[in-house]
Amino acid sequence: MERRVLPHSGLEVAPLCLGTMTFGTPVAQAEAVSLTQRALDLGINFIDTANMYEGYTRRIGSPGGISEEILGQALRGRREQAVVATKVGMKIGPTEADEGLSRAHIRREIERSLARLGTDTIDLYYMHRPYPAVPLEESVGAFQELLAEGKARAWGISNFSAAQTAEVLQVCDANGWRRPAAVQPAYSLLKRDIEQDLLPLCQREELAVIPYQVLQGGVLSGKYQHGEPPPPGSRQVEKPEWTMVLSDELFERLGPIEAEAHARGRTLLQHALLSLLEQPAVVSLIIGVKRVEQIEAAVQALG
């Protein structure tokens, strides 16, 4: 599979990145290990996790860690084949010290992530969300320490608006610090707001965009039909709050997207992936999968 450069990071990644938010449940450990190894065999060298991920059992303030632990198992003996991204910032415990982007929290959490992943360095370490309660200088400064110590090779930001991203760049430039290499926003053919401001900013500033929920939780795979019940075992059945309501309005929005896919000789899945990759700043798409066939379908969709 093709490799794409993450500017200013020394990292080269596949155009698909394996998402691991479902590791634990519904993807149990043994299946998650096979899925990860199949992804590596197919040439997908980029894997996305977060300290908070623990599958469908996730609730606000639960401790997380399960996805990173499973990924650590899956990468035993193959760590050098993968570019591993993880994140810090979401709530992973009951107290104020268990969330956010203070220096102390970041330093505590990277040690935990390194241990769970069984590695000495995180290839791409993200701020999972903006956290205005802590001065940006403190958070970005802590990330610079991790780069200097070799605990992270590159860093990124997730769920930051265009204005918040510009502020991060300003803080880096003012202090002579390394800028983020990547941003991770939600982006799909059903959720295109970043095209207004964040995408042009990233293109101008050479920041790699690594979108998540590119299939909108499976809605853009083409498996849900208007007026029919969702297929058994699909996310609509098992975890509806992690996808969109199958309303009349949603199918009205899907109509023109399907028509355009058809006009371009693509399946809906192909169109959902290729349209995003055609955007110049987009380097790799995070793809959530529950079964090996889904990762194979994504690889095939890219041709």
* Chain residues in the site for ligand NAP (CB under 6 A): 19-22, 48, 158-159, 184, 212-218, 221, 223, 234-235, 242, 269, 286-290, 294, 297
56 tagged catalytic? no
Task: Give 111's contacts (C-beta < 8 A, 6+ positions apart).
Answer: none
> Alpha-carbon distance 245 to 131, whole Å?
29
Q: Which is nearer to ligand NAP, 1 or 173 (CB)?
A: 1
Supply the minimum distance, in Å, between the C-beta of residue 48 and ligand NAP: 4
Q: Which is nearer to ligand NAP, 151 or 224 (CB)?
A: 224
> Alpha-carbon distance 33 to 108, whole Å?
27
Supply the minimum distance, in Å, between the C-beta of residue 186 and ligand NAP: 7
- For residue 148, CA distances in Å to 68, 88, 178 come to 23, 18, 10
Q: Which is nearer to ligand NAP, 150 or 241 (CB)?
A: 241
Spot the catalytic one: 53, 125, 126, 131. 53
Supply the minimum distance, in Å, between the C-beta of residue 27 and ligand NAP: 8
User: Which of 212, 207, 231, 225 is CA-nearest to residue 268?
Assistant: 225
The amino acid sitting at 56 is Y
Q: Which is nearer to ligand NAP, 141 or 240 (CB)?
A: 240
Supply the minimum distance, in Å, between the C-beta of residue 148 and ligand NAP: 25
Q: Are strands 4-6 and 16-19 parallel, antiparallel or unpaired?
A: unpaired
> Alpha-carbon distance 62 to 194, whole Å?
30
> Alpha-carbon distance 7 to 182, whole Å?
8
Instruction: Report the catalytic residues.
Output: 53
